[in-house]
A and B are shown apart, each in its own frame.
Chain A
């Protein structure tokens, strides 16, 4: 059994790109335009940062030139986003657009949808949310109850989506909903994807405040919202296959490894300055080795994806080991930092406080690790 696609080095040409991103980030930091934060791909919403980044061609990088993008490769995008994540840069505004919507529209979107959204995404000006989870459909995604009724020229949509990150600031979201009955026990039948603008009658967005006090999540209630046929993504009835086809990207990317990297970098910097002893080196070495190995796994999956393969087991494994590592980093920091988590404390104390309160989400979002481990076990032949 092969668990992992071959590990391979990144293309040589990406080295220059990496240097350019680092130079940009150094400038941004020097100008005080952002403060590095943990989990900034969820919580760092900064539209002007997104636009500056897009000015360098680093948002929607894989969008072809005819839709206003740079037509860069998925591996080039990988290099850019891992540099941004490692630096704790505020990438949340364009994150979903860049990660999910671009590949989704390129693969399934009509020419009209591509023309309308992709150029704005590549300019760093168009932000999306995801409409998957519902109050009664979490891990069991096929249980979605949001439904569309066929009406003249489109669909009339009613239902509730939840955990919709950034919906209160985003322009639109792509919703998984039922447009037809299931085929007996085949619940994946009859599901579709619609692109729905959020600022319109019938859409109510209610904030869900996290235990950090931050507002990322929302409940989005759709009440008889009219969605014209032109907003259908792909094929009616093929929503399940479409929504799950990009999961390997979502599960195996550097954001499943690096959500607490800023804490580790800051801790290491402080320990280096303080001149800590062998025990600190050993603890740091352990998470460093694991982080390095996780990154090689993630790169192996990225390489396979770039070649058009679907390494679903490996992608699930990256998410499982990577997100658990994100929490282990917090434990190492707690052991070595000589400070307690404190939202009002010094730099490390604040980073710790933020990371501790975000940590439960690491192994929940993008498919809970338990569900993913079940997928792995079945793929390995367990019945």
Chain B
């Protein structure tokens, strides 16, 4: 497209990468696992307005589109940024879409199984304002199809938990006192999609980082009198890893394009359900499936090539691989996404267009 836009995008990426690199040293990321997060980093990010990119300014966001928010999430994943950056980006977009005002401070997005149920394993639930979204049930009073939303500022009674990387994964109560408001139908589905998409983007960043760390290590480490990089078996494994990293990258980029195109259509007063015809592959589900599947291979090869040192607490690699192992199972495990995709595939195969028409549909809107 026009180079002006690409320049702007490159500039944003460079700015984000630089800021994250400054703060996300191995020491700081490791320390955050003990403290829950890194508030200095969070304030630095907030000052730049990066935490609400992709959300409209009318709603209180920083403007920009999903592509911009996606680039920031990939950078956050690569840096192992110990703050709810992707979570805030996603929650901000959800609130803007739902026509709600975006509150200040860190946000996190959670989909509730039903009103009154606790929200489980909410990322940074103890530190952030939780944006809870659910699908309609009779007791909400919003009708059988009414979706609802609740904004729960710094909730009391949070039960702390964590994932393999030490990131907070907390149980947040959604008591009867929570103020639920009705939101347009499709909002809960949109939230599920956002969660999967942003988790996939984090994985994409972390996978790239794992590859970068491994390439650097095999060039530097010598055995039998030469760098590991000189061994053909090592080269083969690096290339196999690169293939998986590229698959994640392709899948997440395509999902961003598809979601971006869909949100344009929804803004034209269409509901998601209308847009998501039965014959259309969900790019977001496919992307999470692929990201989750490839994450394990990437982490395994990274560790194999790093040798024993990579498994230690003091080595930087584990900050990335523990995230890959956590994130692949969050917001939809590979198995869940495979099953969902497989059911859709079987549905498509039983119809006129068949499997191919369905597969070729999951590409986002045709562009210029």
Contact = CB atoms under 8 A, between A and B. Distances in A.
A277 to B, nearest CB: 10
A313 B249 CA distance: 14
Contacts of B212: 1
Interface stretch (A3-11, A53-61, A94-102): A3-11
Contacts of A293: 247-248, 250-251, 254, 286-287, 290
A279 to B, nearest CB: 9
B273 interface: no
Contacts, number: 202
Contacts of B359: 288, 291-292, 295
Interface stretch (B23-31, B163-171, B340-348): B340-348
Interface string A98-123: 00000000000000000000000000
Contacts of B227: 383
Interface in B315-368: 334-335, 337-343, 345-350, 354-357, 359-360, 362-368
B159 interface: no
Given A9-B365, A284-B346, A289-B293, A377 B236 contact: yes
B242 interface: yes
Given A269-B355, A272-B347, A321 B247 contact: yes
A378 to B, nearest CB: 8
Main secondary structure of the interface of A (DSSP, over half): helix
B234 interface: yes
B349 A271 contact: yes
Contacts of A35: none
Contacts of A87: 356
A276 B342 CA distance: 11
B201 interface: no
B203 to A, nearest CB: 13
B236 A282 contact: no
Interface in A251-299: 261, 264-265, 268-269, 271-273, 276, 278, 280-286, 288-297, 299
A22 B353 CA distance: 10
A14 interface: yes
Interface in B218-249: 218-219, 227, 229-230, 232, 234-236, 238-240, 242-249
A280 B342 contact: yes
Interface residues of B, number: 64
Interface residues of A, number: 63
A380 B242 contact: yes
Residue picked from B243, B257, B281, most chain A C-beta under 10 Å: B243
Given A4-B250, A278-B339, A295-B359, A376 B219 contact: no
A7 to B, nearest CB: 4
A253 to B, nearest CB: 15
B245 A3 contact: yes
Contacts of B283: 292
A292 B366 contact: no
Nearest to B245: A3
B123 to A, nearest CB: 24
B2 to A, nearest CB: 14
A201 interface: no
A320 interface: yes
Contact of A373 (B215, B236, B289, B345): B236
A299 B347 CA distance: 25
Contacts of A295: 359-360
B253 interface: yes
A295 B229 CA distance: 30
Nearest to B292: A289
A280 B338 CA distance: 10
Contacts of B290: 289-290, 292-293
A269 B354 contact: yes
Given A282-B339, A383-B227, A288 B286 contact: yes
A268 B358 CA distance: 12
B353 to A, nearest CB: 9
A32 interface: no
A81 B215 CA distance: 36
A261 to B, nearest CB: 7
Contacts of B287: 293
Contact of A377 (B235, B343, B350, B363): B235
A381 interface: yes
A10 B366 contact: yes
Residue picked from A3, A12, A18, A280, most chain B C-beta under 10 Å: A3
A288 B242 contact: no
A282 B219 contact: no
B356 A265 contact: yes
Nearest to A300: B250
B356 A86 contact: yes
A56 to B, nearest CB: 19
A383 B219 contact: yes
B341 A288 contact: yes
B253 A281 contact: no
Interface in B268-326: 281, 283, 286-287, 289-290, 293
B346 A296 contact: no
Contacts of B218: 382
Contacts of A271: 346, 349
Contacts of B229: 377, 382-383
A294 B254 CA distance: 11
Contact of A269 (B243, B293, B335, B350): B350
Given A8-B257, A296-B251, A382 B234 contact: yes
25 contacts: A8-B367, A9-B366, A18-B360, A261-B356, A265-B349, A269-B349, A271-B349, A272-B347, A272-B350, A276-B346, A281-B345, A283-B338, A286-B293, A290-B247, A290-B290, A292-B251, A297-B246, A373-B239, A373-B240, A377-B235, A378-B235, A380-B242, A382-B229, A382-B234, A382-B235
3 closest Cβ pairs, A-B complex: A285-B342, A281-B342, A285-B338
Given A284-B346, A321-B247, 6 more contacts: A8-B367, A86-B356, A281-B345, A286-B334, A288-B286, A294-B247
